[in-house]
Structure 1
Amino acid sequence: MTGRAWPFLVARGRRRGYSALLVPGFLREHGFLEATAIPLDDVPSRAVATPHGVLVWAEHAVTAAEARGEPRDEYGRPLVLLHGFLCPDGEPVTASAALAWTTTAALTTYGRFLADEEGFRTDRSEPFPIEVAAVARPRVAPPEEPARPVRGLVGAGAAALVVAGAVAAVVGFASAGDDAPVLSPCARDVVELTGTPTVPAATCVRDGKPVPYSLPPSRRP
């Protein structure tokens, strides 16, 4: 896939020390460029992951023609460019072609810097397209939400059940009351039978309790 990369340059002049001379245009601060892009030890280039993207850089020894004079600083050290690019869109597939392009951009900025080291202000670069490796990201299905009962329907159903139960209880009580015999209060001369009655008996109520008693001869069957 195609991503974007921004050129950068860290270098020193004949009198001025190492500093960022060309920085990616989207950065608000670029101190990490000077801290990360350091001289290389026998390797053609290096890539480092940073919070702003993948930083790739290489070294370029400035020639006399490019420096328009002696390519050394005031202490006799050779002038070396640390140039490269910052890619926030992923890991570059190949960096060699991009580094060849950033060499040209870096030399353009460096020529203006050498012409006026004290008055030079940092340049801001524009992006160029670069091929980056596609990163496969697994798709994660969102968890299913449990079904939520509709409170209105549940409440209505519960209320209907309560009403139905109450009606059934009232009907049952009324039915039971219709079938149960109604007992009369006992007269004063009624004597409660004890044991198993041997003569026809009747029942009356005394002090809220049923009382069996013998029927007088005139009322016996």
Structure 2
Amino acid sequence: MNTRRSFFSLLLLLWLPLLACGSCPPADSLRPEGAPLDRRLHRGRQGWERIIPTHVKAQYAGSMGLLSLGFGWDYGRKCRWETDLMVGYVPRYSTRRGHATLTLKQNYIPWSLYASDRFSFDPLYGGIYLNTIFGHEFWGRQPGRYPSGYYWFSTKLRTHIFWGCRATWHPGIRRKYWIKGVTLFFEVNTCDLYIVRAVGNDYLHPQDIIGFSAGLKLQLF
């Protein structure tokens, strides 16, 4: 119960910037000659419209399941911030059944470089995400069957950091496509438990604590 309460408390905390800042500024005017390469602009939204997700995502791997699907919001100046909520699935491997996961992901994209009116590239972005897995085999607080302090970590909740890059195709701002952008992304991640284990451990190598993932994002607004 404490793990679940902490997870949804963080979800509420990450929604506050969304409600305060709203969506990205409007993009109704043409780009002036000589404007910067980074020109991320979306249609402005007001009031409760801000709660409507601006994009959907699918992600392969990333320590959040074999495949995760979800939606999210981008906001802030030049749409530098994204908050995603994703549901994933871990197939049955050594366990009797598969497991569902829930991930809350916060992205920060400092730069977006436009190669043309149709293509842009985010050379580096990063962030943090909180992931929980459902099932009686996993716990947030050490069960009583173990000696006190035997396990100092939770098997149900993991905190990850990640960094990556992505490329986007823009169908066209002026035309009324229902998809405003198609993005392919690649990420590298690690989690709190791996980092702690790696400190002072000469037997662990980078490939032992780093994971890779890839995904697709469809921009709706």
Which TM-score bucket, shorter chain as reference?
Answer: under 0.3
From the two aligned structures, give the one with the greater helix fraction.
Answer: 1
Give the TM-score of the pair, scaled to structure 2: 0.24
RCO higher in 1 or 2 (8 Å CA, sep ≥ 6)?
Answer: 1
Whose Rg is larger? 1
From the two aligned structures, give the one with the greater strand fraction.
Answer: 2
